[in-house]
Amino acid sequence: MFVSFEGIEGCGKTTQVELLTTFLSQRGIPHLITREPGGTSLGKLIRKMLLDPANSEMEPLTELFLYAADRAQHIAQVIRPALETRQWLICDRFADATTAYQGYGRGQDLAFIQQLNQWATQGLWPHLSLLLDCPVEVGLDRARRRIEDSALEGREDRFEQQALAFHQKVRTGYLELAAQNPARFRILDATMELERLHEEIVTILEPYLNQKN
Ligand code: TMP
């Protein structure tokens, strides 16, 4: 079973991935938690390049190819092998993020991105994609507070530094993707209290929990 979590900055997906990990461990379900970008050792280097605010001169096309490169490595080295051993694979962002951020957010050609995603994923797509949706103001506020509460004050990454309008386009992109792929996507209200949101996610996954992959 391959499940991806998607959403704008501060939607709470990383916290929900952690709660789900604990839940799967308690149920004794073999699983692997991973993320994009940065799910492999090569990918970690790519992630650093992509998010470093010092790389403000990065061309949109360079950015697009770096996400695709990260994904190609991740599919070959982590995702495909995990699915072959019938583990649950939980991925914090996947190819839909490229459509939402590089396509809708940066305005790059959607048809080209679709093709690139198809190449990079080798046609391997999540069985379920959970879109944690919330207003941009709520997400960015949470993301900023998280940065302030950590030792990272003043250290927003290249994407957190983008204007509200960019994140609004990303949110719209995700909602359109969900509307175009209703069999794969579930939209969840990410303004919900943490535990309630977790319970909703478990309710969605429950029918798949007794399957073998
Ligand atoms: P994260 O903070 O959720 O780990 O994601 C890192 C950033 O990378 C986030 O701002 C979203 C962005 N991103 C893209 O722009 N395109 C992509 O394909 C992926 C996977 C992430």
Q: How confident is the model at residue 145 (pLDDT cuts 50, 70, 90)?
A: confident
Q: CA-CA distance, 144 to 149, in Å (whole number)?
A: 9
Any atom of ligand 1 within 6 Å of the Cβ of 37: yes
d(CA 90, CA 99): 19
Predicted local confidence at residue 160, as pLDDT: 80
Cβ of 63 below 6 Å from ligand 1 = no
Residue 125's pLDDT band (cuts 50, 70, 90): very high
One-letter identity of residue 118 = Q
pLDDT tens-digit map of 91-105: 999 999 999 999 999
Any atom of ligand 1 within 6 Å of the Cβ of 71: no
Give 158 Cα–ligand 1 centroid separation in angstroms: 10
Structural domains present in the chain: 2-208 (3.40.50.300)
Closest residue by Cα to residue 81 from 26, 40, 24: 40
Helices and strands (H and E) in the chain: how many: 9, 5
At 141, list the tokens. Answer: 């506020």
31-35, strands of its sheet edge to edge: 31-35, 88-92, 2-6, 128-133, 185-189
pLDDT at position 136:
96
**131: β partners:** 6, 187
Ligand 1 pocket check: which of 119, 157, 159 to mutate, most ligand atoms within 8 Å of Cβ?
Answer: 159
Q: Is the pLDDT of residue 13 over 80?
A: yes
Q: Which of 15, 70, 101, 167 to mutate to test the pocket of ligand 1 (most atoms within 8 A of CB)?
A: 101
| Residue 154: pLDDT over 80 | no
